[in-house]
A and B are shown apart, each in its own frame.
Chain A
Amino acid sequence: MTEDRKALIEVRDLTACYGDDIVLKDVQMEVYPNEILAIIGGSGCGKTTLLRHLVGIQQPAAGSITIDGNDITNHDDGTFDTALKKIGILFQGGALFGSMTIAENVALPIREYTDLEPDAISDLVQMKLCSVDLGGYGEHLPSELSGGMVKRAALARALALNPEILFLDEPTAGLDPVISAEIEELILRINHSMGTTMVIITHSLNIIFKVAHRVIMLDKSAKGIVAQGDPNQLKRQNPNPVVRQFFHRQAGLDKRRSWQP
C-alpha cells in the first residue's frame, strides 16, 4: 500500500565509510509520508551512521539522498537549507545546550525562525514543555534534570517548529519502562495528530512492535539492509537467521553452541 505513494526521503546507492572502513554499501531505502519507520540492527551496524547521512551531518562516499525532492548530497547550500527546515532531530544524548535553561533551549529555534512576540513564545514553550510533562521545569538547566527528563526536553526542542520529518536516535534508551511507554505514546500521538513522519533508530523491541509501521534492519556483515517490512511479519516468517535472532532475542549462534545452561 505504501509503495504506491511518493517517497518523502529517497536514498539511492548510499555508500558510507570512515577512511578505508566501509560501513554501508549501496543502500537503497525510502521513507513515505506520515509513516513511522524504525531502523534497527545490532550495535555497530551503521544505524547512527545512516542517520548522520540522512540529516546531512556527514556526506556520503557515493550515492544520493533526497528529502522531499531536495538533494542534500549535491553540495548546494540552498537546497540543503530547504531540506533542513523540514527536519527535526532528537540526538541520543539530548544535545541540549548546557548554558541555557530548558525553556531557552526550546525557544531558540522558535525565536530564530518566527517573529512571534516574546510573551507568545514563552506561552508556546510552556505548552510544548507541558505536552512532554515538563511543565514545571522550564527554568532548570539541563544538568539539573534526570536522563529521562533531558530526553523529553530534547524531544520538545526537536518538535519546536513541528518539522515534517522527525529523526529520533534511541528515544527510549536508558529510560525506565513507564517513561519509555509515555514517550512511545507521545510519538504515536504526534504522528497521528500532526502527521509527522518519523524515522526512529532503536534497539527496543517495544518501540518496534508498538509504534513502527515499517522496519528496516541493517546488518554489519551485509553492510546494508537485510530485511524490511511489517515488524510482525518479519518476526513470524523471515528466513534470515540474523533477523530471527534479533526478533526472538536469541544470543549469537556460535556462543550458544559453546555453552548451554
Chain B
Amino acid sequence: MPIATADISDAYHILTSADGAMGIQLMGRIDHRRAAQLIKTLKREIASHPPAKVTVDLNRITYFDDFGVLVLAEIRKFLKERQIPFSLIQPPPRPGEVLALFNFDDPATCALPERPPKGNPIIRLGEGLLHQLYHLRYLVSFLGSAAICLLHVMLHPKKLRWNDTVNLIQKTGVDAVPIVGLISFLLGLIMAFVSSLQLEQFGAGIYVASLVALAMVSELGPIMTAIVVAGRSGSAFAAEIGTMRISDEIDALFTMGISPTLFLVVPRIVAAVVVVPMLTLFADLFAIFGGLVISVSVLDLTISTYISQTIKALDLFEFSWGLMKSLVFAALIAWIGCLRGFQVRGGASEVGNAATSAVVSGIFLIILFDSIFAVIRSYW
C-alpha cells in the first residue's frame, strides 16, 4: 500500500521572537496522515535555528488525536535531548481531553516496564536443560499412557471407538492407495532402469527382477510407504489434535472423565497399524510391476521369466520382515503425530509448527528405527 505524502504546509506556523523563543502554532487536522511529515519538518526547523525555548499552541486545531499527542511527545523528547525548555499553551477542551487520555503530562505512568534481566549464560543453559528434561518427561509419560490405553483396549475391545477407527482407516489407508501406488510404481521403474544399464553389461539382466523385488520388499517398500503416511496422516493427526487443544476440546474431554488418549490416540495408532502394512504390500506389488514393465520393454525378458525370478528371489521371511518393520513405523508415525498435537500451546502458528514437527520427527524416527532393524538383522 503506497503511503501518500501529506501536504503539511497549512498544518503549522512558526513565530520567532527577538529573544530567541520559538512559537509553534499547530492548525487544522493533526492525524495519522500528517503526523509523520509534521514530526520530521518541525524537528528540521528546530535543528536549523536552535531556539532558546519552544511554546506550542493548539488553539487553532480542528481535529486532534493520539497522533497529535505523538507529535507533541516527539518534539518534547527532541528538545529535551538539546536541553531546550518546552511548554504548551493551555489547550482547548477537546485536545486537552485527548492529552489527558494518553497521559501526556505524566509520561512516566506510561513508560515501558523494566525488563527482567535475562540472567547469565549458566542460568540460561540450566533453564534450557530443565525445559528439555520437562519435554522428555512429557514424552515418556505420553508413551506410557498410550501403551496403557492400547493394553486396555486389547483387554476390552468394546472401549475402542470403532466408528472413528474405521473412518481413520479410510483416511489413512484407502485414500493413500493412489499416491502410494504411483510413487512405488515409478520407484520400481527407476530401479529397474538404472540397474538394467549395469547388469546388462554382464549379461545378468535377469537379476533386475531379484534386485527390484528384494530392495522393495525388505527396505524401500516399508520406508517409502511410511514416509508418505507421515506426510499425509502424521501431520493431519498433529494439526487436528493441536486445534482441539487450543480450542479447549481436550480439556472438555478430560472433564467429562473420558481419557483423551483413549479417545484420540488409540484409534489413530490402531488405524495406522492396520493399514500401513497393507499399503506396504501394495507398494511392493506396484514396484514389482514397474520393474516388470521396464524388463519386458527394455531387456526383452518375458513376463513369466520375470515373475518366476521374482518369486525365486523372495521368501516368506523377507516379506514378514518388511511388514513387521512397516508395523513399527506405523505405530511411530501415529504416536509422534498425536504427541506433537498434544504439545501445542498458544495459537494458530503453533498448530502449523506441530504439523511440521510431526512430519520431521516422524521421518527421523522411521530412518532411526530402520537402521536399528538393519543392525539387528546383521547380527542375527
A189 vs B103: C-alpha distance when bound (angstroms):
13
**Is B97 an interface position by the 8 A CB rule?**
yes
Contact sample, A vs B, 18 pairs, CB 8 Å cutoff: A98-B348, A98-B350, A113-B3, A114-B3, A114-B32, A114-B33, A114-B35, A116-B70, A120-B74, A124-B70, A126-B112, A130-B103, A130-B109, A142-B347, A143-B346, A162-B31, A189-B101, A190-B101
Residue of chain B at shortest CB distance from A159: B66
Interface residues of B (CB under 8 A from A): 1, 3, 31-33, 35-37, 39, 63-67, 69-70, 73-74, 94, 97-98, 101-103, 109-113, 246, 345-350
Residues of A within 8 A of B73 (CB): 123, 127
Given contacts A113-B32, A115-B3, A127-B110, 19 further A-B contacts (CB under 8 A): A98-B349, A98-B350, A99-B348, A113-B3, A120-B39, A120-B74, A123-B73, A127-B69, A127-B102, A127-B103, A130-B103, A135-B110, A135-B112, A141-B347, A143-B246, A162-B65, A162-B66, A193-B94, A193-B98
Residues of B within 8 A of A141 (CB): 346-347
Minimal beta-carbon separation of A135 from chain B (angstroms): 6
B97-A161 in contact (CB<8A) = no
A113-B110 in contact (CB<8A) = no
**Is A192 an interface position by the 8 A CB rule?**
yes
Instruction: Name A186-211 residues within 8 Å CB distance of B.
Output: 189-190, 192-195
A13 vs B63: C-alpha distance when bound (angstroms):
34
Minimal beta-carbon separation of A83 from chain B (angstroms): 15
Contact of A124 with B66 at beta-carbon distance under 8 Å, contacts A98-B349, A114-B3, A136-B113 already known: yes
Residue of chain A at shortest CB distance from B350: A98
A130 vs B109: C-alpha distance when bound (angstroms):
8
Residues of A within 8 A of B63 (CB): 194-195
Proximity string of chain A (132-143) to chain B, C-beta cutoff 8 Å, 1 when within and 0 when not: 000110100111
CB contact between A124 and one of B67, B97, B246 (< 8 Å): that residue = B67
A131-B74 in contact (CB<8A) = no
Residues of B within 8 A of A124 (CB): 66-67, 70
A131-B101 in contact (CB<8A) = yes
Residues of B within 8 A of A99 (CB): 347-349
**Size bracket of the A interface:** 20 to 34
Residues of B within 8 A of A127 (CB): 66, 69-70, 73, 102-103, 110
A208 vs B324: C-alpha distance when bound (angstroms):
68
Contact of A138 with B112 at beta-carbon distance under 8 Å, contacts A114-B36, A116-B36, A127-B66 already known: yes
A157 vs B113: C-alpha distance when bound (angstroms):
20
**Is A7 an interface position by the 8 A CB rule?**
no
Minimal beta-carbon separation of A260 from chain B (angstroms): 35
Proximity string of chain A (102-121) to chain B, C-beta cutoff 8 Å, 1 when within and 0 when not: 00000000101111110010
B101-A193 in contact (CB<8A) = yes
Minimal beta-carbon separation of A67 from chain B (angstroms): 18
B346-A110 in contact (CB<8A) = no
Contact of A126 with B110 at beta-carbon distance under 8 Å, contacts A98-B349, A131-B66, A143-B345 already known: yes
CB contact between B66 and one of A128, A142, A143 (< 8 Å): that residue = A128
B102-A130 in contact (CB<8A) = yes
Minimal beta-carbon separation of A187 from chain B (angstroms): 12
Residues of A within 8 A of B74 (CB): 120, 123
CB contact between B97 and one of A110, A116, A143, A193 (< 8 Å): that residue = A193
Residues of A within 8 A of B70 (CB): 116, 120, 123-124, 127
Residues of A within 8 A of B65 (CB): 162, 194
Residues of A within 8 A of B350 (CB): 98
A160 vs B349: C-alpha distance when bound (angstroms):
24
A123 vs B113: C-alpha distance when bound (angstroms):
13
Residue of chain B at shortest CB distance from A139: B115
Contact of A115 with B101 at beta-carbon distance under 8 Å, contacts A130-B110, A143-B345, A143-B347 already known: no
Minimal beta-carbon separation of A148 from chain B (angstroms): 18
Residues of B within 8 A of A98 (CB): 346-350
A192-B66 in contact (CB<8A) = no
Top 7 nearest A-B pairs (CB, nearest first) are A98-B347, A99-B349, A193-B97, A130-B110, A143-B346, A162-B65, A136-B113
Most buried by A among B32, B36, B97: B32
Residue of chain B at shortest CB distance from A138: B112
A161-B103 in contact (CB<8A) = no
Proximity string of chain A (42-75) to chain B, C-beta cutoff 8 Å, 1 when within and 0 when not: 0000000000000000000000000000000000
Minimal beta-carbon separation of B247 from chain A (angstroms): 11
A127 vs B107: C-alpha distance when bound (angstroms):
9
Minimal beta-carbon separation of A26 from chain B (angstroms): 36
A193 vs B102: C-alpha distance when bound (angstroms):
11
Residues of B within 8 A of A143 (CB): 246, 345-347
Proximity string of chain A (153-171) to chain B, C-beta cutoff 8 Å, 1 when within and 0 when not: 0000000011000000000
Residue of chain A at shortest CB distance from B348: A98
A78 vs B158: C-alpha distance when bound (angstroms):
62
Residues of A within 8 A of B346 (CB): 98, 141, 143
A130 vs B101: C-alpha distance when bound (angstroms):
9
A127 vs B35: C-alpha distance when bound (angstroms):
15
Residues of A within 8 A of B102 (CB): 127-128, 130-131
CB contact between A135 and one of B36, B101, B113, B347 (< 8 Å): that residue = B113
Residues of B within 8 A of A138 (CB): 112
Residues of A within 8 A of B33 (CB): 114
A136 vs B73: C-alpha distance when bound (angstroms):
19
Residue of chain B at shortest CB distance from A135: B110
Residue of chain B at shortest CB distance from A112: B1
Minimal beta-carbon separation of B107 from chain A (angstroms): 9
A116 vs B73: C-alpha distance when bound (angstroms):
13
Residues of B within 8 A of A136 (CB): 112-113
Residue of chain A at shortest CB distance from B104: A127
A117 vs B98: C-alpha distance when bound (angstroms):
22
Residues of A within 8 A of B109 (CB): 130, 135
